[in-house]
Amino acid sequence: MALIEWREEFSIGIPSVDYEHKGMIRMINQLHEEMSATPSRDTVSDFLGEIHALISAHFALEEKEMREMGYDAFDDHKDDHERLLDEIRDIMDEFEENDPGEFAEELSRRLEDWFTGHFRTRDARLHRFLKDRDAG
Ligand SMILES: [Fe+2]
Ligand SMILES: [Fe+2]
């Protein structure tokens, strides 16, 4: 079963952002799946690199959109992005020191917490802001 299922409530209403959110969820699910089958260190390491690149690019897009619309909670949202990127870097450092198999479950759990937490709070608030703006 997929670790994270896409839910309509995750939708922001900016097509390019929603598209990337779906791509990130797919990637995390794929990582989770590969991890269940005792992956090699290289497999996991490549994945971590790809996830980091995908997420950095996504945050840059979201921040650009927020800046352009004059979003009122920009600083808080950006801070949370920075926090998430730091955490991924920590995960990557820890991985270097750990057995890939033992590391698997912990990694999946942290990525899931991290994503769904950010979607439910910051990205959801951005969604409400856009809805109110378009309604008003
Ligand atoms: Fe975000
Ligand atoms: Fe996002």
Tell me the C-alpha distance between 107 and 102, whole Å: 9
Buried b (16+ CB within 10 A) or exposed e, 22-34: eebbebbbebbeb
Q: Does domain 14-135 have CATH number 1.10.10.10?
A: no
- DSSP class of residue 120? I
Overall residue count recorded for the chain in this entry: 136
Residues with Cβ within 8 Å of 30's Cβ and at least 6 positions away in sequence, in order, are 47
Distance 118 CA to ligand 2 centre (A): 8
| Amino acid (1-letter code) at residue 43 | T
Domain ranges in the chain are: 14-135
pLDDT of residue 60: 96
| pLDDT value, residue 129 | 93
For residue 78, report the distance from its CA to the centre of ligand 1, in Å.
7
pLDDT at 96 over 90: no
- Ligand 2 centre from 58 Cα, in Å? 7
User: Which residues hold their Cβ within 5 A of ligand 2, which is an ion?
Assistant: 62, 123
Distance between Cα 124 and ligand 2 center (Å): 9
Q: Dig out the tokens for 136 from the structure.
A: 């008003």
Residue 88 CA to ligand 1 center (angstroms) comes to 15
8 Å CB contact between 117 and 68? no
- Could you say which ligand is closest to the alpha carbon of residue 21? 2
User: Mean pLDDT of all residues in the chain?
Assistant: 86
Report pLDDT for 36.
73
Q: Helix H segments across the chain?
A: 15-36, 41-69, 74-96, 100-118, 124-135
- In the chain, the percentage of residues whose pLDDT exceeds 70 is 96
Q: 132 alpha carbon to ligand 2 midpoint, in Å? A: 19
Confidence of residue 78 (pLDDT cuts 50, 70, 90): very high
Amino acid symbol at 78: K
Among 3-12, 31-40, 47-56, name the most confident range: 47-56
